[in-house]
Amino acid sequence: MALRGLDSPLTVVPWAAALLLVLSVERALALPEICIQCPGSVQNLSEVALYCKQTSDLMLHARCCLNRKGTILGLDLQNCSLKDPGPYFPQARTAIIIDLQANSLQGDLANTFRGFTQLQTLILPQDVNCPGGINAWKTITSYINNQTCQEQRNLCNSTGDPEMCPENGSCAPDGPGRLQCVCAEGFHGYKCMRQGSFSLLMFFGILGSTTLSISTLLWGTQRRKAKAS
């Protein structure tokens, strides 16, 4: 396409380059909302920052510690004047370390950590209890200005109830202090009723060739001399 007012095709190039640059920067800046909803960035001496620096391949962006693919591995929301973690909090369900101290969190946190199966370190304000209590965490330490919950436990082993899940379902962790029923190994589909996979190709191959051979055989021996009808 020809741009008006341009002397030659070569003047398109700087425009294209600038456009590409802007687009790539924008892509890199497409952070999950949870990282940017609270102004500021990860505190230098926080646990999240320590964790992020000690592992290579991790980058700090706003309040998050991300890996190369953009998955949130650390979240630092301390001192954000939060009453509750907010609607974007589930975006951080892959996080390994989360810091929520120095906020006046209200209400029960039991449901906010649904799906946070990787969480190993959770720092909460002093007056907030660890979700799931002492049963869900190996270590709970109370400091002056925070409570630290460390090493999430898999409650599937400890509960020990064999009838925990419906038929063909098996227990799996669903966050601190939570369990869910997923399909057992080898089962899939609605209510985990299905097992394995049916090979359509083999079935139709065998059926088709058998039908062809029997039809040909029978036509040859039976109907070939039949009067047209």
Partner 1 sequence: MAWPNIFQRGALLSQFSHHHVVVFLLTFFSYSLLHASRKTFSNVKVSISKQWTPSAFNKSIELPVEIWSSNHLFPSAEEATLFLGTLDTIFLFSYAVGLFISGIVGDRLNLRWVLSFGMCSSALVVFVFGTLTEWLHFYNKGLYCSLWIVNGLLQSTGWPCVVAVMGNWFGKAGRGVVFGLWSACASVGNILGACLASSVLQYGYEYAFLVTAAVQFAGGIIIFFGLLVSPEEIGLPGIEAEENFEDDSHRPLISGAENEDEAEPNYSIQEDKTITQVKAISFYQACCLPGVIAYSLAYACLKLVNYSFFFWLPFYLSNNFGWKEAEADKLSIWYDVGGIIGGTLQGFISDVLQKRAPVLALSLLLAVGSLVGYSRSPNDKSINALLMAVTGFFIGGPSNMISSAISADLGRQELIQGSTEALATVTGIVDGTGSIGAAVGQILPV
Residues that bind partner 1 (CB under 8 A): 163-166, 169, 171, 174, 178-183, 189-198, 203-204, 207-208, 210-211, 214-219, 221-223, 225-227, 229
Residue 184: both structure tokens together = 């057992």
Separation between Cα atoms, residue 21 and residue 55, nearest integer Å: 29
CB 160, min distance to partner 1, A: 13
Residue 81 or residue 221: which is nearer to partner 1 going by CB? 221
Contacts for 99 with CB less than 8 Å, ≥ 6 apart: 46, 47, 48, 75, 76, 77, 78, 123
How far does CA 38 lie from the centroid of its chain?
22
Residue 138 or residue 191: which is nearer to partner 1 going by CB? 191
Residue 27 or residue 225: which is nearer to partner 1 going by CB? 225
CB 87, min distance to partner 1, A: 19
Say which amino acid occupies 36: I
How far separated are the first and last CA of the chain, in Å rounded? 67
Residue 61 or residue 114: which is nearer to partner 1 going by CB? 114
CB 123, min distance to partner 1, A: 25
CB 207, min distance to partner 1, A: 6
Residue 33 or residue 167: which is nearer to partner 1 going by CB? 167
Separation between Cα atoms, residue 215 and residue 28, nearest integer Å: 64
In contact, 116 and 176? CB cutoff 8 Å: yes
Helices (H), the chain: 12-28, 33-36, 47-54, 155-159, 200-221
CB 58, min distance to partner 1, A: 30
Residue 58 or residue 179: which is nearer to partner 1 going by CB? 179
CB 109, min distance to partner 1, A: 16
135 backbone dihedrals φ, ψ, rounded to 5°: -70, -25
